[in-house]
Amino acid sequence: MKRLAVRVDEDTGESLAKKQLQSKANSLLNAKNVDIKTLKTFVHLLKDTPEHMPAGEVMNTLEVIFKVLLKRQVIEGNERQVLKIQELYEETWLLLMENLLVDSECSGALKVCMQLIKVEANHPIAPKKGWPIHRIRGILETLINSDATPTIALTNYGKYCKNLDVLAITLKQLKGLVPSEDFKNSPIKAMNFLSIVNLLDMGKSVLTTADYHVESAKNQSFDYEVNRKRLNDLWLTIMAKGNEVDEKLHRQILVVLLERVINHLDDPIQLTDFLMDSLHQFDGPIALLALQGIFTLMQKQNITYPDVYEKLYNMFYPRMFYNKYKARLFYLADIFLTSTHLPENLVAAFVKRLARLALQSPTEDAVIMIRFVCNLLLRHTGLQKLIRASHAADEVSDPYNESETDPVKSEAINSSLWEITLLQKHVVPEVANAARFINSSLPVMEFDLAPLLDRKECNIFDDELQSKAKQFALNYERPTNLALPKNQFVTKYWDLI
């Protein structure tokens, strides 16, 4: 149902509903005793929000009310009135959990929850003491048990996970919130759970900043070793429940592994079989993510993988341009091909594959691949002969076999870079200019590919609009108005109507 427009006070610009809520809240808080009936009205407003009243305003008002009541310690005790206030407070939390799954209200609901947690940590409700861990558990249970992945709520919760106290508590609680059945039998819950794990960043930047949601939590410093042990245990549980999952879940497990887990594992070598199976049994994003994991093991654990370059070579195909993780592919390929000790016939195959793909790629990717080709020619100077090779001047006479899966057998070393010459006629000036690097001596320094990885076609279009083109005279007389020049045949024989 479409909401009615919120009426606004012409003098202050504030909504009338907000002013009414503030007025009633002030009356409630200024009274000597808490009026249970009025407080109950506020809670029921959140339960059944009128069309003219934004739910966010009701949640903000309840936040102010309960923060004041918590600080006054009005909620503590066993008296009948106190128990009634506690009951309404718990009902408010349940309603906030419901709003946490509503896309339009989840940001406000989570903000109110975290603010109440901050106050409740400093003014706990007996018999509980200290940090209200059960509140975080309630939020996590709500997110995990959602019928659809609550993307907006997860994104907002991730911001609070940058605080070390929230990070530690979340990590501790997740072990007890793992879905009871295997991931393949409850894919939505599994995806929600993995999405939360992917929010847990224990990188250097977070640990160095050392922010805390509750100031008093600074007294208990973040213990990296304890939390690393928890993360290791959590990963073992994920691996035990993550067998035979669909591709979407498999991809998410790999993302969690690469972004949050692999650098904190006790024994990363145990990942070898999982990554190898992922690389060989799948194509596209899953194979690419697995390749990134293998590269990490090669770098840090000194494992060897003989077919890594063949697998990397076969990941460059036209569909890759529509792959969500294509920036990772360029990044990985740049690192894998950094060594100047690689065989020239192997690197030549990558040069030809990139040049050939640049002919059929989107504009932004064509620029990246042309720059990449130039970098490879600088690293392997023996391949610069491909620029001037005249025996393979077009696709017909080109011995390069692009359908060959083994890069060494592709005959790229006997080919030429006629594709780059052809790209000099590209309709987009930036692509054409990038391809002209072969017309003169190669640059001394390599191009930095990093700034190009995040560029989109709209960025190239905007840059082209801002560039100044050379102006050409279209008439020997500068026109001063919309009339045609005098003494012309057109004006002599015709009149403009």
pLDDT at 450: 87
User: Worst-scoring range by mean pLDDT, 166-180, 265-279, 391-405?
Assistant: 391-405
d(CA 386, CA 237): 52
Does pLDDT of 4 surpass 60? no
**Peptide linkage before 54 cis (omega within 30 of 0):** no
> What mean pLDDT comes out for the span 330-353?
91
Does pLDDT of 14 surpass 90? no
Per-residue pLDDT tens for 285-331? 899 999 999 988 888 888 878 788 999 999 998 888 888 888 889 99
d(CA 30, CA 25): 8
Does pLDDT of 6 surpass 80? no
Q: Which three-class secondary structure state does DSSP give residue 8?
A: strand
**How many other CB atoms sit within 10 Å of the CB of residue 407?**
22
The segment with the largest mean pLDDT, out of 33-42, 89-98, 485-494, is 89-98
d(CA 266, CA 228): 9
Per-residue pLDDT tens for 214-261? 887 777 788 999 999 999 999 999 999 988 899 999 999 999 999 999
pLDDT category, 3, cuts 50, 70, 90? very low
Phi-psi region of 302 (alpha: psi -120 to 50; beta: other; left: phi over 0): left
- Share the mean pLDDT of the chain: 86
The one-letter amino acid code at 112 reads V
The one-letter amino acid code at 39 reads L
d(CA 279, CA 273): 10
Higher pLDDT, residue 271 or 481: 271
Phi-psi region of 490 (alpha: psi -120 to 50; beta: other; left: phi over 0): alpha
Higher pLDDT, residue 325 or 59: 59
Looking at the chain, the whole-number percentage of residues with pLDDT higher than 70 is 90
Per-residue pLDDT tens for 376-419? 999 999 999 888 776 666 777 889 998 999 999 999 999 989 99
pLDDT at 210: 86
Does pLDDT of 72 surpass 80? yes
453: tokens are 């990885």
